[in-house]
Structure formats: structure tokens, C-alpha cells
Amino acid sequence: MTQHPGKPAGLSDPHELDLFEFARSGRQAAGVVRVSQLPRMLNEVPAEAPDRDTAFTWQAEGANQPELQDDGTEGPQPYLRLAVHGSAWLECQRCLTPYSQAFNVDATYRIVNTEAEAEEFPLDEDEVEVIVGSRQFDLIDLIEEELLLSLPLVPKHEVCPKVHESLVSGVDGSEGEGDEAAQDEAGDAGEPERRNPFAALESLKRDEPGGSKH
């Protein structure tokens, strides 16, 4: 994809991104990636799906946020923001037919230099993940990883087009399955509700007071 200077655009090669420069200069990029370019995601798509090669749109933005360093001074900490939206066909585990699953990734990453640095950060920080940057960083691989992590634990329709009679009538002691499925649906529906991890960086980019508190 050709890059268009002066506005967000696709990278010349998102498989070999200088992630440190991308963050340092506050660059933005956007593009489209198809399931056929993501072999691990493609493995999740059933052969009988109406469209095995759906597309995801992505947007990425780099930023530096002033933070306190180990030596007591304040220095720039690079961050990457990534959003991915789209859908892919998965196999419903209730009726074993394909259904379209929506994906909405919204993530912020603290960029560090080494694996050792990454291991120093606590795992309970749910707003910011830690990734090891490089000057040939594969952004498409990160996108695929996030999509795989977003796969539902039990893929299924909200309402199956055909439900086995035993599930409807409760034969074979399956009455409770309906209630359990309803609870599962409620849990699934609530999962996309996440706090906006980009709030601090938004205020930083606008240079508003308080943007560097975190």
C-alpha cells in the first residue's frame, strides 16, 4: 500500500516497522489486513464459511509519554496504540454451522527494549500491555495475536438458526443448558466493554494540563 505523507496512511511495510521511530515521532498509520494474510486466524475459519477471506481495518499511533525513570529523572516512554475492527466466520459450537463473529480490539502497549525489561512490569496492569520493540517490528503479527486473544472461549450464535429438539424441550436433562447459555451470552455481550486505555495519551497529544500525570 502506498503511503500518503501528511495524513494517516498504510505503512510501506507493516511487517518491518521501526517501532521506536514510529513512537518517537508520534506517527499514525491505518490499513486493511485480510484473513488470508493471517494463517493462524485462517485456521479458525470453517471450510464451509460463506466468506473465508474477510477483512479487518486497523489504525496505529505512536506516542511518547514523560515518565519517571529509575535514576529519578523524567524521560520519554514510547507507546503504541492499536485498534482493529472487523469480523470473521467461526463455527458455532452449539449447532456446528458458521456464524459471523465481530472483533473490536482497542489496546495500548508500553514499548520496551528487551524481554528482561518486559518481565519487570506487573501482569495485573489491565490497561497497558508491554511489548518488546524493534526496528523491524511486525505489526501484522501483533494484529493477528490480538485477534486470536479476542476469540470467544466458546464460539456460538447469539440465537442458533436451528436448535436441536432436545435443547428446546429439555429432553435428556438439558433444560438447564438454556439458562447456562443465556448466562454465557450475557457474559459474551459484556466482554467488549473495556475502559478506554487511550485517555492519557489523548490528553498528552492535545498538550492539555494533566496529560503527563500518569
Domain boundaries, the chain: 19-205
Quote the CA–CA distance of 154 and 11 in Å, as a whole number. 35
Tell me which DSSP letter residue 9 carries.
B
**For the chain (length 214 residues), average pLDDT per consecutive 10?**
43 89 95 97 96 97 83 82 97 95 96 83 71 94 97 94 56 44 46 49 51 42
Residue 29 and residue 2 in contact, taking contact as beta carbons nearer than 8 Å:
no
Buried b (16+ CB within 10 A) or exposed e, 137-164: bbbbebbbbbbeebeeeebbbeebeeee
CB within 8 Å of 91: residues ≥ 6 apart = 46, 97, 98, 99, 155
Are 128 and 80 in contact by the 8 Å Cβ rule? The answer is no
Q: Helix H segments across 75-132?
A: 115-119
Per-residue confidence (pLDDT) for residue 57, from 0 to 100: 98
3-state secondary structure of 69: coil
H helices of the chain, where? 19-24, 39-42, 115-119, 139-149, 165-169, 175-190, 199-205
Tell me 22's DSSP state.
H
Instruction: List residues bridging with 129 in a β-sheet.
Output: 109
For residue 202, the model assigns a pLDDT of 60
Give the alpha-carbon dihedral of 166, 167, 171, 174, to 10 degrees: 140
Q: Please tell me whether the overall predicted TM-score, pTM, comes out greater than 0.95 for this model.
A: no
Closest by alpha carbon to 88, among 142, 138, 38, 158? 38
